[in-house]
Amino acid sequence: MTKNSDRGGWRPPERDMSGAGSLLTEQRNPASVDIDTMSASDLVELINIEDATVAAAVARESEHIAAAVELVVERLRRGGRLIYVGAGTSGRLGVLDAAECPPTFGSDPKMIQGVIAGGYDALVRAKEGAEDERDAGRRDLSAREVGPDDVVIGIATSGGTPYVQGALEEAVRSGAGTAFLSCTPVENGSVPTDVTITVLTGPEVITGSTRMKAGTATKLVLNTITTASMVLLGKTYENLMVDLQATCEKLRDRGCRIVATTTGVGYEEAAAVITRAAGSVKAAIVMQKAGVDLDEANRLLAEARGFVRKALARRSRK
């Protein structure tokens, strides 16, 4: 017979959580009650049907997501940072979104950061108990010296993760901008924030498994926040990632194709222009389209706050 001590260190809850079953993310999905009798094809169909509802749930929060974008852009323009805080899947998605911004948008790695309960080891090995440590959330934010120029987005799909709540408390205390993303009604969170995003994805196919629909919704929201913020900060020209960091063959090729597409030159000439632009795709476009040298291209971009379209418009008015 298996002992209780063999079951992941089982012990009774240290606090009364009997009300947790009322959370939207903890409720049973009637469509999947008989999931353990389904065939592989039926399982795939069911999960796909449930996943198809996520985009609409995110769309219903568009106004609040836009408010979060405006908050982020305001703080980043001040030279501040965007810091995601989460536990488990939420924390991993925050770290992932932060990690993808520098190669895509050329942003400073310090500009957008992800903080996960249990530290970076929790990215590859679950540390579920770390989410219960409210004081650790406060300490981890305090260690980053968060201040009024920063914005902290807490991610807790079930609403009340103590680690995230502690981090948000520290963020509020420090005067940082704050937002909270959850997939259950906001009354389950206890820290007032500047923006609240509540994406009601409903009960999961596997009860309580928020790595599924709630996780998908989180990925969509975080992608939207950082992408929209980077666009508003001048990190794109048209729909092209002109501030990319060409750190691999794929991105070097993409940079050449971007310059060729936007200026009408051939691929080889585009590569040569980027070389003259010291590797800057942005500057290369301005140099080629405006017929200026690198110093002038950089001056125009600085005056236009990094926006290629505005830099070109300034040149054309002269």
Does the model's pTM come out above 0.75? yes
Residue 131 bears catalytic tag: yes
Same domain flag for 185 and 211? yes
151 beta partners: 82, 177
Same domain flag for 287 and 226? no
Q: Is 93 helix (H, G, I), strand (E, B) or coil?
A: helix
Place of tokens 């999905």: 29
Q: Classify residue 22: in a domain, yes or no.
A: no
The pLDDT score that the predictor gives to residue 44 is: 97
Q: Classify residue 120: in a domain, yes or no.
A: yes
Same domain flag for 122 and 255? no
Catalytic hit among 26, 70, 74, 100: 100
Catalytic hit among 50, 61, 131, 204: 131
Same domain flag for 169 and 254? no
Residues spanned by the domain of 290: 249-316
CATH number at residue 306: 1.10.8.1080
The pLDDT score that the predictor gives to residue 314 is: 83
Report the distance separating Cα 38 and Cα 14, nearest Å: 37
SS3 sequence of 245-286: CCCCHHHHHHHHHHHHHHHCCCHHHHHHHHHHCCCCHHHHHH
Q: Classify residue 281: in a domain, yes or no.
A: yes
Residue 145 bears catalytic tag: no
All residue ranges of the chain with pLDDT < 50 are 1-6, 18, 188
Same domain flag for 208 and 83? yes
| Residue 185, both tokens | 């009604």
Q: Classify residue 205: in a domain, yes or no.
A: yes
Q: Classify residue 16: in a domain, yes or no.
A: no
Same domain flag for 307 and 266? yes
Q: Classify residue 59: in a domain, yes or no.
A: yes
Report the distance separating Cα 237 and Cα 312, nearest Å: 11
- Strands 112-116 and 151-155: what pairing? unpaired
The pLDDT score that the predictor gives to residue 125 is: 85
What is the tens place of the pLDDT at every residue in 96-144?
Answer: 999 999 999 999 999 999 999 999 888 888 777 788 789 999 999 999 9
Q: Classify residue 196: in a domain, yes or no.
A: yes
List C-alpha distances in Å: 84 to 96, 190, 193: 10, 18, 14
Q: Per DSSP, which regions of 59-141 are E strands? A: 82-86, 112-116
Number of domains forming the structure of the chain: 2
Amino acid at 181: L
Same domain flag for 209 and 82? yes
Half-sphere exposure of 153 (CA within 13 A, CB side): 36
197 beta partners: 181
